[in-house]
Chains A and B, each alone.
Chain A
Amino acid sequence: MSLNSDIYKDDPRAKTYLSTDSDWNFELLEKYDSEIAKIAAKYRLDTYPNQIEIISAEQMMDAYSSVGMPIGYNHWSYGKQFLSTQKNYQRGQMGLAYEIVINSDPCIAYLMEENTMPMQALVIAHACYGHNSFFKGNYLFKTWTDASSIIDYLLFAKNYVRKCEERYGQEEVEQMLDACHALQNYGVDRYRRPRPISAAEERLRQQEREDVLQRQVNDLWRTLPSRQEETTQQKRRVFPAEPQENILYFIEKNAPLLKPWQREIIRIVRKISQYFYPQRQTQVMNEGWATFWHYTLLNELYDNGKVTDGFMMEILTSHTSVVYQPGFDSPYYSGINPYALGFNMFQDIKRICENPTDEDREWFPDFAGKDWLDTLHFAMENFKDESFVQQFLSPRMMREFHLFSIYDDDERSHYEVEAIHNDNGYRKVREMLARQYDLSMREPNIQVWSVDLEGDRSLTLRHTMHDGTPLSQDVFEVMKHLHLLWGFDIHLDTVKDGEVIGRRSVPEMKVAD
């Protein structure tokens, strides 16, 4: 009997405790999971089935470095990720994440064996009921990802890449992947729902696709004059008819020189990028939701007398450090902590529903005083970070976080504090914070503009400048990658207020225009 258990020997509540030790075992995991599941069901957390996998620290490092994909194709950049994770971990600079959770059906969650029982319970509540229900309920995930097929697809991708390496050489494939990775953020459809991906279908149709695709490309690049004397002296074909935001898709379908397998590689990177697209837009909400629920579920477990005081202390210690938000001037500051912001916003929504103040009634007439669980589910299901902040960030939250907005104009010598957490500033601060989470603001707006079909086959992209923010130097490197994919000259025009103000070219032009 450990000391820890002895403390609870004479505790009258002792019979109801699930465990009193800090050690976990599989039986206990199951018990905790089923208790947590019961409470989660009460709060209508609808989840995919859970697949909880216990792994060691080394395995966690592996999982870490494959950027959240349980099965990934091989690439040096994952090795780089692994080396830096390994170094930081071995030096003790960084603890490993307690958990990693995959948006799949069944929802896979990794638990580290080093965790104590309270930590495992925390992780189960956080990942298996928090994140899991978010994956299943949020509209972005519903629209853009297909949880049931992702594992199959990743497996297909891994095998396909491996086969290509065998057939065309590792370096060839690596070059393709490097190029695609550089453009992966420009490989997503933002407004059109993609076809659901399924590995079985994928394999069947892959060969067929290769052939058809190649034929289409050939047609586009046909150099023989068309037989019919079309409208007087060939109207100059404009291609693409409309600007294309999905650059990788455009390349995959239209690049003249790529071989079928290269197009397939582009497609793989594109599909995976699309899969992660919702996650990049819902960080605050996703983490906030999961944190809110581990906090709520475990507190209820405690209130029901299922866990000990010591258990709860450990949970709260961990929880507190997760939701800590250092100020901008703290040495620990590294941006706004999504766990802190998300958790507090969900807590705040609950508060507004249960105990609204006059201010809340004025700001949130729609849901102040309404059922909190309905409101929370509504918020989780129908928003992304940007709109979530815009709709639900209350003045009280802004005061608690002491938020303020800085305006930085590179033509002026000073920063200006444009709004703070007061009556005049709430709306401005909230709007600015929401914009900060808008992916289309965070990423430069670059689209495929035109292709010189009859001339030198060069590809012209158009960068629409916003607020005078220039592109980083990286863009040249990325354009070189694009050049490799396209096979002919690449131009990138920068447009400001409707006028082209600059052009970058790869290969670089001898004479600047």
Chain B
Amino acid sequence: MSYIIDRRLNGKNKSMVNRQRFLKRYRGHIKEAVSDAVNRRSITDMERGEQISIPTRNTHEPMITHGQGGKSHRVFPGNKEFNTGDQLEKPKGGGGGSGSGQASNQGEGEDDFSFFITKDEFLNYLFDDLELPNMIKKSLSQSKEFKTRRAGFVSEGTPNNLSVVKSLRNAHARRIGMGAGKRRKIKELQAQIEELIAAGKPDDDSVIAGLKADIAELEKKLKMLPFIDELDLRYRNQVKVPMPSSKAVMFCLMDVSGSMTQDVKDLAKRFYLLLYLFLEKNYEHIEIVFIRHHTSAKEVDEQEFFYSRETGGTIVSSALKLMDQVVQERYLEGDWNIYAAQASDGDNWDDDSPLCAQILSENLLPAIQHFAYVEITPHEHQALWYAYQGVAQANASKFATAQIRGAGDIYPVFRELFAKERYKEAV
């Protein structure tokens, strides 16, 4: 007797819970591996999973087993030349060789337990503990967009929201409720009539006639119950809820003067990329504006932004002015969340730095969510850095500066700029 059952359509991720438990247990290890991977990976491939390795001793489940040593007998197949009494050299360095089948159970064969995490998990670990600065603030308190949502039924409303089914059901219930007494009475009277008839009274007896009149009276009253009443009406309730804005624009500002080498630009690109991925996880729609500058600023496409060569001096304020202009033109209306990241090697024309600080604190910062400035230089800070420090102190929640010396710094700096704690107080 056999039953054949097709289970292929049943859920296939039965192990998901257990997998998550494992990942949770080894969260520390995985996060470490993820941040290593970020530093190691090339710019273009952040969007894939990662192989994670955890030392076997950490994932090992202990069991009581026999250890090495003592006297043991073991039987093997495949004898070719051995004869009884042969003495065989023990392999040097302990166990090894044709050891017993136990070895693999004890996990000695592999040093690391390794497995893959998916792209989404990778990004989640990457952005774990991070919080978008000021996102909550913007999305709820300043939000101008609302959407309506159903919220049960109410007894007052406009006719277009009338719920017919609900109203008729109420009317029906009311009619049943209000008529119950009368109907019971009618039944009693009818029972009396039948009793009288059974007792042999004629149909036209006066008592029976009286009863019949009563019944007719009651039935008339029953009929007078209104089919539908004002009381029965129910309207679908709609409430307005503020809708968090799901649009963000990210400004990438970069110095492309002669002092910026391709290496420095690559570092900057990684930073932008992290920011982009980060925003992508939090907003449905993201636009990016690339502004590069030397002595004058220009809005360009991504390719040109990262790879075209320019020479000349540096006037940072030109980029900030252009950004301000773009914000005024395109992103003031429509509730955009505006983020900006500026990368530079710190060079600036000396007199320009105070102007930059001024544009930032007066024009840009009031309009935007967050501005991050990264200085990519292994050397001492330059004039622009010091000018920005003043701005940073005045706008701690919106403005952050950091210095990046090499590729290894990018992720830690990024984390620091967007770490949850940092913004908890500010928000």
List A residues at the B interface (Cβ < 8 Å). 26, 29-30, 33-34, 37, 49-56, 58-59, 61-62, 65-66, 74-84, 86-87, 90, 106, 110, 113, 128, 170, 174, 178, 181-183, 185-186, 325-330, 333-336, 401-410, 413-422, 424-425, 429, 432-433, 435-436, 442-444, 446, 465-475, 477-478, 481
Contact = CB atoms under 8 A, between A and B. Distances in A.
Nearest to B5: A53
Interface stretch (B74-82, B160-168, B245-253, B395-403): B74-82
Contacts of B78: 325-330, 333, 401-402
A29 B3 CA distance: 10
Contact of B15 (A65, A420, A421, A469): A65
Given A328-B77, A408-B74, A469-B66, A59 B12 contact: yes
Nearest to B8: A56
B2 A472 contact: no
A410 B70 contact: yes
Contacts of A106: 3
Contacts of B18: 65-66, 74-79, 81-82
Contacts of A327: 76-80
A469 B80 contact: no
16 contacts: A53-B5, A62-B14, A181-B61, A336-B75, A402-B78, A402-B80, A405-B75, A406-B88, A407-B72, A414-B89, A417-B87, A420-B82, A432-B73, A436-B74, A471-B64, A474-B62
A223 B82 CA distance: 66
Nearest to A184: B63
Given A83-B19, A405-B74, A52 B67 contact: no
Contacts of A181: 61
Contacts of A406: 73-76, 88
A128 B115 CA distance: 34
B69 A410 contact: yes
Contacts of A52: 2-5
Contacts of B62: 182, 474-475, 477-478, 481
A468 B67 CA distance: 10
Nearest to A30: B4
A473 B84 CA distance: 34
Contacts of B67: 469-473
Nearest to B74: A406
Contacts of A446: 64
B96 to A, nearest CB: 13
Nearest to A470: B67
A433 B67 CA distance: 20
A381 B66 CA distance: 31
B75 to A, nearest CB: 4
Contact of B75 (A37, A56, A83, A436): A436
B150 interface: no
Nearest to B9: A56
A82 B15 contact: yes
Interface in B32-83: 59-80, 82-83
Contact of B116 (A33, A87, A170, A436): A87
A53 B7 contact: yes
Given A87-B115, A420-B79, A469-B66, A79 B73 contact: no
Contact of B77 (A37, A170, A403, A418): A403
Nearest to B23: A79
A327 B82 CA distance: 13
B151 to A, nearest CB: 30
Contacts of B76: 327-328, 336, 403-406
B89 to A, nearest CB: 6
Given A87-B115, A415-B88, A436-B74, A37 B2 contact: yes
A417 B83 contact: yes
Residue with the highest number of chain A CB atoms closer than 10 Å, among B19, B23, B83, B116: B19
Interface of B: 1-8, 10, 12-15, 17-25, 59-80, 82-90, 98, 100-101, 104, 106, 113-116
Given A87-B116, A128-B2, A406-B73, A416 B22 contact: no
Interface of A is mostly: mixed
Listed from nearest, the 5 A-B pairs whose CB atoms lie closest are A327-B78, A335-B101, A79-B22, A469-B70, A79-B18
Contacts, number: 269
Contact of A74 (B3, B21, B60, B70): B21
A407 B71 contact: yes
Contacts of B13: 58, 62
Contacts of A37: 2
Contacts of B116: 83, 86-87, 90
A21 to B, nearest CB: 18
Contacts of A410: 68-71
B57 to A, nearest CB: 10
Given A78-B18, A83-B22, A472-B67, A58 B86 contact: no
Given A407-B71, A419-B84, A328 B98 contact: yes
Given A52-B5, A55-B8, A435-B73, A470 B85 contact: no
B65 A80 contact: no
B109 to A, nearest CB: 10
Contact of B2 (A50, A66, A80): A50
A87 B69 contact: no
A66 B77 contact: no
A54 B8 contact: yes
Given A65-B18, A467-B72, A336 B77 contact: yes
Contact of A79 (B1, B21, B77): B21
A460 to B, nearest CB: 16
Contacts of B82: 404, 417, 420
B79 A403 contact: yes
A508 to B, nearest CB: 16
B7 to A, nearest CB: 5
B87 A415 contact: yes
